Structure 1
Amino acid sequence: MPNPLDSQIDALQRATRDLLAVAMRSVDEVTDLSMPQMRMLFALHDHGTVPSGTLAHVLEVSGSSVTRLADRLCAGGYVQRTAVPENRSLVLLSLTEAGREAVAAVVRRRDDEFRQALSHLSPELREQLAEGLTALHGHLSEASLSRAVVA
């Protein structure tokens, strides 16, 4: 007898591929940035000005990866580095206006594609989808926090 969870996981795997395609298209069509660079911009958008070490923790990457990404994003005018005079080993990273504009452009592009896709679903199905995705996001976020605390 087939396990219903298997078909649900298959549906999530397909949705993941579809959502990744939307994410990649939105970045490719409106910026000249890579997905890792865009991920850093979104993290800075969500967390504001943060030390590079904190950003490494948020992104779950090494400090050297953050440094390399920040180097490219600073050179492109998307991110600003600020030294902290009281602590010379601390470097703060923040979005520039160009960084904020890049995030906004990608979000607008995704919104357009999601609106188009959702217009084909009934209002009831859209509501169920939103509720299910919100619950799934909560559980995935908790799992991510648990991994970060253990690390």
Structure 2
Amino acid sequence: MPAPDTTPGTASDVTSRSAGCITELLDVLWEHARNSTSHATTPLSTSQLRLLYAVDRDDGIRMRRACTVLASSPSNVSRLCDRLQAMGFLERHPCPGSKREITLKLTAAGKTHLQEIREKRDAMLHRAIENLDPAERNALGEGLTALAAQLRSPAGRDPDNPRTRQAA
């Protein structure tokens, strides 16, 4: 992957390009971890993995809620479920409170697969971070913490951060 473009521009432009390169590298890292597990005879798509993560976070999630979380249509989510169910990673059950709705649960194999992905991903990240010197690790931690706060806040404004607080 090429290094970030350092042609003249604003600091914000350089930072955005650098962040974009990091995101692309992380995509490759996740892809490698996702496809190098013992269950990876058929690699998962990003959408399938996102659905598994959503079900893992909210065991028994309703299909309708999964559509919202994935910002996808019911037919697309249903196809994702078909594939994941065929792989043995997902189960569909009638919703206890509504016969018209379906809930989604991970199987033991689905949980194991996600755990393997997380372990491989984390090991790769740990190796890379360990190769940074202490000052770089500290700067990375501070930068990622600040970025996460910005991404969680509405319109990039963190109400707990005086630098981004809007005057009322």
> TM (normalized to structure 1)?
0.87
Q: Secondary structure at the match of 1:61?
A: coil
Q: Secondary structure at the match of 1:45?
A: helix
Deviation at 1:112, TM superposition (A): 1.1
CA RMSD of aligned residues (A): 1.8
Of 49, 73, 84, 1:73 maps to 84
Name the residue aligned to 2:158.
none
Instruction: Show structure 1 runs of 5+ residues with no match.
Output: 145-151
> TM (normalized to structure 2)?
0.78
Tell me whether 1:41 sits opposite 2:48 in the alignment.
no
> CA distance change for structure 1 residues 131 and 44 in 2, over 3 Å: closer, same or farther?
farther
Q: How many residues align?
A: 144
Of 58, 61, 69, 1:58 maps to 69
Tell me whether 1:83 sits opposite 2:94 in the alignment.
yes
* Range that drifts further, 90-99 or 80-89: 80-89
User: In the alignment, residue 69 of structure 2 is paired with which amino acid?
Assistant: V
2 CA distance for matches of 1:43 and 1:102? 14
1 CA distance for matches of 2:61 and 2:97? 16
Identity of counterpart residues, as a percentage?
A: 29
Of 147, 151, 154, 1:140 maps to 151
Is the CA contact 1:27–1:35 (under 8 Å) kept in the aligned structure 2? no
User: In the alignment, residue 27 of structure 1 is paired with which amino acid?
Assistant: R
Relative contact order higher in (CA < 8 Å, ≥ 6 apart): 1
Q: Secondary structure at the match of 2:136?
A: helix
Of 4, 10, 14, 1:3 maps to 10
Deviation at 1:104, TM superposition (A): 0.3
